A and B are shown apart, each in its own frame.
Chain A
Amino acid sequence: MVNALIALITGLTTGGLSCLAVQGGLLASSLAAQLEQDVQQPRPPRSRQGNADRPVPPGMAAPILLFLAAKLAAYTLLGFLLGLAGSMVQLGTIGRAVLQFAIGVFMIGNALRMLNVHPIFRYFAFEPPKVLTRYLRRRAKRDTGWLTPLLLGALTVLIPCGVTQSMMALAVATGDPFAGAAILFAFTLGASPVFFAVAYFATRLGTRLERYFNRLVAVTVLVLGFVAIETGLNLMGSPYSISALARNLTGAPVAAAEAMPDGAQVLSIDVKNYGYIPEVLVAAADRPVRLELKTWNTRSCSRAFTIPALKLEKLLPATGTVVVEIPPQPAGSVLQFSCSMGMYGGVIRFN
């Protein structure tokens, strides 16, 4: 659900315009020639204001809506299939971490491409096969019936924009067909209003937003890329993730282990929807630890508790207490724990 919400917000903020840049040509081709000129053509030289006073041609809303509806259905199906593919691979914690790293590198590369940092980053953009783009272009121009925008909307799955490709990677990472479908549904739905508005009002919105838009998209993708890298680091139990460094710097609340008569020590973590409390726990070295994980109506991914160094993964009940036995650890060692998505985490220090 959190991922779908992020996808929706990403779609709302950057997805519409980013997708329009790549897929707008198809939409424009399937509409009237006037719309094609207004939306699709980049600003001609010395004409920065565009044709702001040109009225919207009548009858434009229906084909745009058909295009977007078909696009929404096609991407939801694609998300389902990507999630299904992710579930078949059955990635372990390290596999998910590597996938998150790859997603992060891909996103950061794309962001740097958009910011024109260096020509090498152009290779992070996927160029659709010529045969495909040529077919789509000619199909779009050939007929003007209602079926064309429907067909072309569905076929946009074959030419995803950079932000969409990032969302597709997230859908694979969920490893769940329904979660994958939810991500691409939410993203495409979020992108639709902006896509519709820019296509419908043509240059009136386009020229004003264009100047700021590319940087906005790039910065958003850059942030998402760093979040993916951070997630990967958390999944690997790395002490160098931003959240791990922040815990060290800010002095997060610390809980010490409670000694039991049988020599064991008990640590307790409240597993909340938004993370683990406390995030830092301290136990004595060279003695086993009984770790109690307590949930109360917990619905987020924090329920999927992992300690990568011990290869321990537990799916906690929504409400209840699960006890995990941790073998004795040497003095000075630190065990990182996190949720299976790498979004929330904490550490156990052994003194």
Chain B
Amino acid sequence: MTRKILKVNEMSCPACVMRLESIEDELPGIYRIDASYHRQEMVVEFDESLVTMAQILQAVEQKGYHPLIKET
């Protein structure tokens, strides 16, 4: 399992948390997403053999945000 933290600075309210966490139902291979409005970031736990980081970043961008990988 791979764990990445994405910085998402455009979260404007707690609704964005639900919006971003819904990606865990949309992309196969994601175990869990924990987004935080307070910290403006999301923690993604996923299986790299099923989904790539590029696909996750694209999914976040499709929701209207511009994520940056914070740490590996």
Contacts and interface: CB of A to CB of B under 8 A. Distances in A.
B13 A134 contact: no
B70 interface: no
Contact of A127 (B12, B17, B63, B65): B17
Contact of B37 (A24, A127, A134, A137): A127
Given A40-B19, A125-B37, A138 B25 contact: yes
A122 B19 CA distance: 17
A122 B39 CA distance: 9
A162 B25 contact: no
Q: How large is the interface on B (under 10, 10 to 19, 20 to 34, 35 or more residues)?
A: 20 to 34
A43 interface: yes
Interface of A: 21-25, 29, 40-45, 114, 119, 122-123, 125-128, 130, 133-134, 137-138, 141, 159, 161-162, 214
Given A22-B15, A42-B64, A162-B13, A130 B34 contact: yes
B15 A25 contact: yes
Given A42-B19, A126-B14, A214-B12, 7 more contacts: A23-B15, A24-B15, A41-B62, A45-B64, A122-B38, A137-B18, A159-B14
Contacts, number: 64
Contacts of A45: 61, 64, 66
30 contacts: A21-B12, A21-B13, A21-B15, A24-B15, A25-B18, A25-B22, A40-B19, A41-B62, A41-B63, A42-B19, A42-B63, A42-B64, A42-B65, A44-B62, A119-B40, A122-B37, A122-B40, A125-B13, A126-B14, A127-B17, A127-B36, A127-B37, A130-B34, A133-B17, A133-B21, A134-B21, A137-B21, A138-B25, A141-B25, A162-B13
A159 B17 CA distance: 12
Interface string B34-72: 101110100000000000000000000111111000000
B64 A44 contact: yes
A29 B22 CA distance: 10
Contact of B64 (A25, A41, A127): A41
> What are the 9 tightest A-B residue pairs by CB atom distance, in nearest-first order?
A42-B64, A22-B15, A127-B14, A122-B38, A133-B18, A21-B15, A25-B18, A125-B14, A44-B64
